[in-house]
A = this chain, B = another copy of it.
Amino acid sequence: MFKKLLVANRGTIAIRIIRACRELGIPTVAVFSTADKDALHVRMADESVCIGPPAAEDSYLNIPSILSAALTYGADAVHPGYGFLSENGDFAEACQRSGLQFVGPRARHIRLMGDKPRARRIMKRAGVPVLPGSEGKGVSEVRDALADGKRLGFPVLIKAAAGGGGKGMRIARDAGELERLFPIARGESEAAFSSRTMYLEKYLERARHVEFQILADNHRSVIHLGERDCSIQRRHQKVIEESPCPVLTARLREKMGKAAVRAAEVVGYSNVGTVEFLLAPDGQFYFIEMNTRIQVEHGVTEMVTSTDLVKESIRMAMGEELGIRQRAVTFKGAAIEFRIYAEDPERHLPSPGVVSNHHPPGGLGVRVETALYDGYRVPVHYDPLIAKLIVHSDTRDLAMARARAALREYLIDGIKTNIPLHLKILHDPDFIRGDFATDFLRRYEPSSARPSDADALAAEKAS
């Protein structure tokens, strides 16, 4: 058992990790920036350390500060959560070098999956279907991109090899657009990732985002815990995730699940991870990438499989064996997660402020993950995700009914949230039927501010 675990994150995932540690009996150290001195995770942890000023680069992304905090306060393990340093191979390596157990995969797996063309090559060799796209190490020049575009046929998606969070991503519907947009996307990639390397993928119309949860121990056992449909996205943000995917047959689930497990097995992956696929209307599916960390939406998988993924990630990091085999994994009912963002639901602008009248819903099958409390000031410096509402019931219809009831109960004043948008979606006939793809949310864009194709389609790559 770990002696003490440092939580290298903030917000809802920090709360989630602290709760798991409390259940396991592991003392926790929270880290925080000066902007987060009143944050809930600071109060809930057994100890807390200020690691820097508000800007994330100087605090939550500041590797020396976090390592120094872990060593100074006597931690022997670090949980990175999601975002921030969770997919930074250097951080994972620095932890191990400092004698701290990193709760996540090995540094080389983080790096491998972070290099998207390389991950594509490995998956292709392993027989996991990948989208037709650029071969080899990617392309940096417009000339090579145009050649790839012609070979693939338009539309194509321009992506950054070191990509993430939708940055450096554009859709090109013809050669002219590709010629115009490629340098823009490459510029974004240079700014965000210091990398000129891009790659092209065939763009799939009307595809769904379907990802599989992987759980792997250090002893080469790998299982999947079913899928999540995360097609309801707005630009770089997933908004609603659910399990099971409303259109997946048992047969297709088995096939995709096997592909996901193979993707993890072929590289010797360990800990939690997610293999993301695009699912075409014809039932074909394609690997897009693997996320080497716990996901925001892990909760829906926890509900339908009765598995505590965060506790499992800590157990795996301690070297324990998976206690469950693939055939023992069962799925019960349907779960849906609604991400609550501090934003104006009409204009999609962040809405920081002081929370009042905080009254989360409760009752049977209603789970709330939040770091809010009455009087808390939502800071401007970080992600606007302030809460996750997860509902679970016997069927998707019943889960939607439960979600409508719960969202009507949910009160958060002082800031604007996207709760009204969730309620609109829950009354949308296409959503109710389960008939949607990654472009679904475009219909709820304010007409005056409808974003360009390029923007909306960047939604395809939400993390």
Contact = CB atoms under 8 A, between A and B. Distances in A.
Contacts of A370: 362
Contacts of A16: 363
Contact of A373 (B359, B404, B405): B359
A364 B402 contact: no
B332 A405 contact: no
A23 B401 contact: yes
Given A306-B332, A332-B306, A394-B306, A408 B367 contact: no
Contacts of A405: 19, 22-23
Interface string A399-441: 0011011001100000000000000000000000000000000
A366 interface: yes
A454 B100 CA distance: 59
Nearest to A387: B362
- Interface residues of A, dominant DSSP: mixed
Q: How many copies does the complex hold?
A: 2
A331 to B, nearest CB: 12
Chain A, interface size category, equals 35 or more
A363 B19 CA distance: 8
B409 A44 contact: yes
A360 interface: yes
Contact of A367 (B306, B360, B362): B362
Contacts of A359: 373-374
Contacts of A302: 364
Nearest to A309: B364
A15 interface: yes
Nearest to A25: B401
A71 interface: no
Contacts of A393: 308
Nearest to A398: B23
A308 B391 CA distance: 14
Given A398-B23, A404-B22, A405-B22, A363 B373 contact: no
18 contacts: A15-B363, A19-B405, A22-B401, A22-B405, A23-B404, A23-B405, A44-B409, A302-B364, A306-B333, A306-B394, A308-B393, A357-B374, A358-B374, A359-B373, A359-B374, A363-B368, A363-B369, A366-B367
